[in-house]
Amino acid sequence: MTRMRRIATEEAFSVPEVAHALRDIVRGPSSSLDKLLCRGIYDAETDESGYASMNFLDGLLDVEGERLRQMDQYGVDMHLLSLTAPGVQMFDADTATDLAALANDRLAEVCARHPTRFAGLASFAPHSPKRAAREMERAMGPLGLNGFIVNSHTNGEYLDDPKYWDCLEAAEALNACIYIHPRAASDTLKGPLQDYGMDSAMWGYGVEVGTHMVRMMAAGVFDRFPKLKICVGHMGEAIPFWIWRITFMNSRAQAIGRAPKTELTMAEYFQRNFVLTTSGVEDPLALRYAIDKVGIDNVLWSIDYPYQPMEPAVAFMDAAPVSESERHQLYHGNAERIFHIAPLAD
């Protein structure tokens, strides 16, 4: 295989101030399912989940040391960095707004120090939509970042709610993609997801983001914002495999008045408004199906570092049963186009 640029598009980081604030949050009274993972990352003293033994926090905070060393070792040219889940969305609106701006400043500084190695997705506080829109403009303007990250629901609410549409309007106007990253299911969804390790990446995260995606499509959000691009990870959170049935059942729901009339079908919104990354799903059959379902222009490679190791993610894409031109798009071409990353000079 010809050596080609490798841009990984769902790569987590954090800053000490957010880590300390989340440690305080998980020590307080709350029934949030996010606390299971957050205790394991930010407060080993109270962790009951076993996550603390994986030492994710070091990988999140050390952006320019061990991460770069592994990137060099495994031939990863660039990480598209984003503030790790749950980002700023567990805080009150004022704290979330301040911490999002701080994290974005730190992210822009890292990208400026290593412009060929790091790009960045900006955080924002959806629970303060007008301030979030201003921060989004600052992130894509003076800070020079590459898009946005949101950790699915905010206070149990989703982006189909018009109260959050200032954020969607800003993203569309800026031609900037929003990456919807998982967080633990809301209190109204979490019931049977709390046992057997199902709360996070094994099952709960996909259920949660998949629910968010379907709500946005079924609500007609993309009639209001037809040029809005949404990125989701983990090979589409299973939606590529369900989209035929989602489309059929939604058309029936519309016909009997249980869902609003939309201009396009669910499948058409999925192909027009969503892009997918491979983060954490190293299955060649799933990759081929995703490409065939949404088109090669809409699938991007990623690792999900530090939660997933770099070496097997590179080996997976190097060996994937795709053509050479498809591999170029998966590894870097689509990321350059969707996230405004400058191509390498010839």
- Which residues are tagged catalytic? 304
Strands 299-300 and 274-277: parallel
Residue 109 structure tokens: 């500084």
SS3 63: coil
Is residue 39 a contact partner of residue 332, using CB atoms and an 8 Å limit? no
Residue 16 structure tokens: 């000490």
Single-letter amino acid code for the residue at 159: L
CB within 8 Å of 270: residues ≥ 6 apart: 213, 217, 239, 240, 243, 294
Q: How far apart are CA 80 and CA 121, in angstroms?
A: 7
DSSP string, 256-305: TTSS---SS-HHHHHHHHEEEE-TT---HHHHHHHHHHH-GGGEE----T
SS3 166: helix
Provide the CA 25 distance to its chain's centre, in angstroms: 22
SS3 132: helix
Q: How far apart are CA 8 and CA 317, in angstroms?
A: 11
